[in-house]
Amino acid sequence: MADEKFVGTPRKVTTHVNQNEDLMFEKSSAGKKGYRLAELDVPAVDAASLLGAAKRTDGLGVMPELSEIEIVRHFTRLSTWNYAIDLGMYPLGSCTMKYNPRINEAVARLEGLAEAHPYQPESLSQGALGIMKILSEALIEITGMDAITLQPAAGAQGEFTGILLARAYHTANGNPRKKIIVPDSAHGTNPATAVICGYEVANLKSNALGMVDLAELERMVDEDTAALMLTNPSTIGVFESDIHKIADILHAKGALLYMDGANMNALVGKTRPGDFGVDVMHLNLHKTFSTPHGGGGPGSGPVACKKHLEPFLPKPVVVTKADGSLALDFDRPQTVGRVRAWYGNFGMFIRALAYILANGPDGLRLTTEDAVLNANYIRAKLLDTFELPFKSPSLHEVVFSDKLQAKNGVKTGDMGKRLIDYGFHAYTVSFPLVVSGAMMIEPTESESREELDLLIDALKQIAREAEENPELVQSAPHTTRLQRLDETTAARKPVLRWKGPAEDGLTLGTAAKEW
């Protein structure tokens, strides 16, 4: 790429030029339509008489009017501005942005499944109930647990459900207890979950290896401790090698071990949380088992548990009746109640089960091994380029820091933005908080060695730029449609809607620019 803004030559991208795009309001012309409706066979009614006070009077007027081809081109052009997994990798650590196989989508679109209604009689829903049962059994086997609920909508709600189970269990034993211990390497939602469930949060510092400090844990655990919320592998990609001892310390005081299973992508087929002492955990189907997520899309956060917590699972649960048919059991006197409308995000169940069945046990184990291999390949290739705060073995992700580049005033956020110029989505910036200036990279098993080499090459070039021309990195990105934004002002004074010219006295073109 012949661009004076680059020190090296990006191997992945060149400047992508396509058309600018006006707002639909600016393109609109009265009378244009992308459709034609039949003539009314009832008297026409003015909108004002139907809407009353709800009718807009702020000067915006009618909605945009465009032809079909204008609408198609408008949204197609906008789509070319987006980065997507179909274009390249997302090296976001902890988010596990892997590729979603097309077979998942094909199965989820089968008419009998896609159009199934949750209020259908059970006699007409045996296929859907069968999917839920088979998926539940598969996840129980994968995790080594005894029971499961598919109801939670995502990881955070899975955490919430898991801690509700813990609270219900302790309450049934006569004491709900007072506190939850959360390591500093846990996901950020963990302490919020504990507070929402009525617990105090006790912070547990990591040791020099980035793991749980056993001596400190033993000191903190007492009869008021309800549970430890442990992310394993942790947010620095490290597996807790003393996990059995951690479980023993908790169980000796009657406390529970809750595992945040968001990083189960590093364990599937290799080890089972139920076998190393976990009492309750959630899974992210939309991460480990490849269903789409991000941008507020649908997720799924099943919660698996041991037998002593099974009575408290949300209702209903799928059961097999005496005649062999499947049904939903609502008669659960100790349940924590519903945590989600219907029975969960059913479309995610289909996709996750398709992924599990397509891979099989050997394939699932291989995906785990590939994810760990890819992360360690990146670690080895960049070990001399960026500081590695924790030297413990990495699993599915590796966390560097910006310490070396910060000497020249280049921070992790600067390098993340510069990475966009090289054709990559940024890595996870400034997280986990246990690492100052964190650069968190998770390639997942989806990426080939060729793609990893492109990322490694880009990061090495950016590191050279940080040495030779820091301002170039500090002012990145340079090749995007919009340059570096004022993030502080954007957060404090967000512009959430376009203002029409009648609202502020501007011309239509000026209003669009203000937007």
**What confidence tens digit (pLDDT) does each residue in 345-402 have?**
999 999 999 999 999 999 999 999 999 999 999 999 999 999 999 999 999 999 999 9
pLDDT of 508 over the 50 cut: no
**Per-residue pLDDT band at 24 (split at 50, 70, 90):** confident
Is the alpha carbon torsion for 258, 147, 127, 360 positive or negative? positive
Closest CA relative to residue 420, chosen from 2, 15, 8, 86: 15
Please say whether the beta carbons of 367 and 442 come within 8 A. no
Q: Is 136 in contact with 148 (CB distance < 8 Å)?
A: yes
* Domains identified in the chain, total number: 1
The kind and range of the H/E element at 513 are helix 508-514
Domain assignment present for residue 257? The answer is yes
Tell me what the pLDDT averaged over the chain comes to: 90
Question: Helices (DSSP H) in 338-448: which residue ranges?
Answer: 346-382, 403-406, 412-421
Residue 191 has what pLDDT?
93
- Cα angle for residues 399, 404, 407 (degrees, 5° grid): 135
Question: For position 55, what pLDDT does the model report?
Answer: 77
pLDDT at position 310: 98
- Residue 501: pLDDT band (50, 70, 90) is low
What are 431-446's pLDDT values in tens digits?
Answer: 998 899 999 999 999 9
Q: How far is CA 472 from CA 337, 386, 398, 424, 493, in A?
A: 55, 18, 26, 17, 28
Q: What local confidence, expressed as pLDDT, does residue 84 receive?
A: 84
pLDDT at 509: 43
Which CATH number belongs to the domain containing residue 194 in this structure?
Answer: 3.40.640.10
Q: How far apart are CA 114 and CA 128, in angstroms?
A: 10
- Answer yes or no: is 183 within a domain: yes
- Residue 454 backbone phi and psi in degrees, to 5: -65, -40
Beta strands 438-441 and 303-305, pairing class: unpaired
Q: Residue 489: its pLDDT value, please? A: 92
The answer to whether 479 and 422 are in contact (CB under 8 A) is: no
Q: What residues form DSSP beta bridges with 136?
A: none
C-alpha to C-alpha distance for 448 and 441, rounded to whole angstroms: 15
Minimal CA–CA distance to 60: which of 374, 508, 509, 515?
Answer: 508
**What whole-number distance in Å separates Cα of residue 63 and Cα of residue 138?**
49
Residue percentage of the chain with pLDDT more than 90: 70
Q: Is residue 403 part of a domain?
A: no
Assess if residue 71 is contained within a domain: no
Asked if the structure places residue 285 within a domain, the reply is yes
| Residue 259 within a domain | yes
Express each pLDDT in 58-93 by its tens digit. 655 567 889 989 999 999 988 888 888 888 899 998
Check: CB of residue 125 under 8 Å from CB of residue 313.
no
Instruction: Say if 389 falls within a structural domain.
Output: no
Burial (Cβ within 10 Å: 0-12, 13-18, ≥19) of residue 499 = middle
Spatial distance between the Cα atoms of 186 and 164, rounded to a whole number of angstroms: 19
Please report whether residue 419 resides in a domain. no
The C-alpha angle 24, 30, 34, rounded to 5 degrees, equals 65
Pairing of strands 428-429, 438-441: antiparallel
Q: Which domain holds residue 256?
A: 103-357
